[in-house]
Amino acid sequence: MPSSPDHATDERPTLGESVPPLREWASTYLIGIFMGSADAVPGVSGGTIALIVGIYERLITAITAVTPRAVLGFLKALTPLGGGISVRRAEAIFDDVDGWFLLILLTGILTAVVIVTRIVTVLNESAPVVLYGFFFGLIAASAVVLLRAISIRTVGAGVAAVAGFLLAFLMSGQAEELFGGGLPLVFVAGTVAVSAMILPGLSGSLILVILGQHARLSETLSTFVDGLAGLVTGGSVDAITGLGTIVVTFIAGGLVGLFTISRAVRYALNRNREVTLAFLVALVVGALRAPVATVRAEVGFTPEVAITFLGLSFVGAFVVLALDYYAADFEIEEI
C-alpha cells in the first residue's frame, strides 16, 4: 500500500529520482499513441488497447487515485497555503497517483488525437463516404464482438438493452436539435465521451458520433492547433479565442466526467453487471444509425456511394476483428 501523502518521509524518492527510465518512458508514450489513435475513431476503444498491452489495471488504479482531494493537496503543497510550500509533499502525492505514468501516457494520447483528428477533418471534407463507411465498419464489428461477450438472461437486462439501443438510435442525428448545438452540447459530449474512453469495447468517439459532434470537434481541434502554431509566426490571438472556448469546454466536461460519470459507470458495473453491460453494448448497436444518417444527409445514397460505403465498412470491421483477435483473453464480464 502506498503511504499517505500527509505522512511522507524523507526516505521517499524525489521527483527527479522517481522519473522512469527512458525505455519505460518511450514504451508508455507509444502505448499512449496507440490508445489515442483508437479513442479518436468510433468503434475502437483505448481501453481495449490498454487491456491488450497489459496496463489496464494500472491505468484504472491511477485514474481513480486522482481525486479532487489529491489534486488540491498537490496544489496546496506548491503554494504558501496549507502550512507553506513543500516540494517533498507534492512529490509524495504525485508518486501516489502514479503521476509520471499518467503524464507520459496522456502526452502520447494527445499526440495521436491531434494527428488522427486532422486526418478525420480532411476526409470529412473531401471523402465523407470513405470516412463514415470506415466508421460504420468499426462500430458494426465492435457490436458483434461485444454482443458475443455478454448474455441477457433477466427482464432488467432486456429492458436496459432496449433503452440503450433506443437512446443511441434516436439521438443519432438529433442531438443538436435537442441541445441546441452550442457549448452545452460540447460540455455534455466531453463528459460522456471521456468517461467511455476508459471502458474496454466502448469508444469515446462513438459517443461523439451519436451526438453529431465528432467531425465538428475534430475540425475545431485541428484549426485550434494550427492557430496556436500561427501565434509563433505572429498570428492573431483573436483567431483562436472562439475555438479555444470550445476546446476548454470539452476538456472541462471531460474532467467532470472523469470524476463523476466514469465512477458511476464502474459503480453500476459492480452493482449490477449484466444490466449495465446490456445497456452499454446496446448503445453501440443503436449507434449504427449515425454514419448512415450522416452520409444520407451530406451525400445521398447512390449505387456507387453504397458500394464505396460497404467496401470501407469491411476495412473498418477487419481492424476491429484484428484487435479482438489480439485481445482474445479479454472477458467483458471481468471489467
Contact 171, 210 (CB under 8 A): yes
Rounded CA-CA distance 325/284 in Å is 19
| Residue extents of the structural domains in the chain | 22-334
In 44-127, which residue ranges form alpha helices assigned H by DSSP? Answer: 46-53, 56-65, 68-77, 87-96, 99-126
Task: Give me the mean pLDDT over the 1-14 stretch.
Answer: 45
- Measure CA 255 to chain center: 12
Amino acid at 10: D
Least confident of 9-23, 137-151, 212-226, 314-328: 9-23
Using CB atoms within 10 Å of the CB of residue 149, give its burial: 0 to 12 exposed, 13 to 18 middle, 19+ buried: middle
| pLDDT tens readout for residues 160-182 | 999 989 988 888 766 666 666 68
Rounded CA-CA distance 28/54 in Å is 11
Given a cut of 80, whether residue 323 has pLDDT beyond it is no
The answer for residues whose C-beta is within 8 angstroms of residue 218's C-beta and 6 or more apart is 40, 117, 118, 120, 121, 124
* Percent of the chain whose pLDDT exceeds 90: 15
- Residue 122 C-alpha cell reads as 480532411
| pLDDT tens readout for residues 243-260 | 889 999 999 998 888 777
| pLDDT tens readout for residues 67-122 | 888 888 888 888 876 667 777 888 888 888 888 999 999 999 999 988 988 898 88
Whole-structure pTM value = 0.76
The secondary structure of residue 182, as a DSSP letter, is S
CA dist list (Å): 185 to 60, 224, 242: 27, 19, 16
- Quote the crossing angle between the two packed helices 87-96 and 99-126, to the nearest 10°: 60
- Measure CA 318 to chain center: 21
Using CB atoms within 10 Å of the CB of residue 64, give its burial: 0 to 12 exposed, 13 to 18 middle, 19+ buried: middle
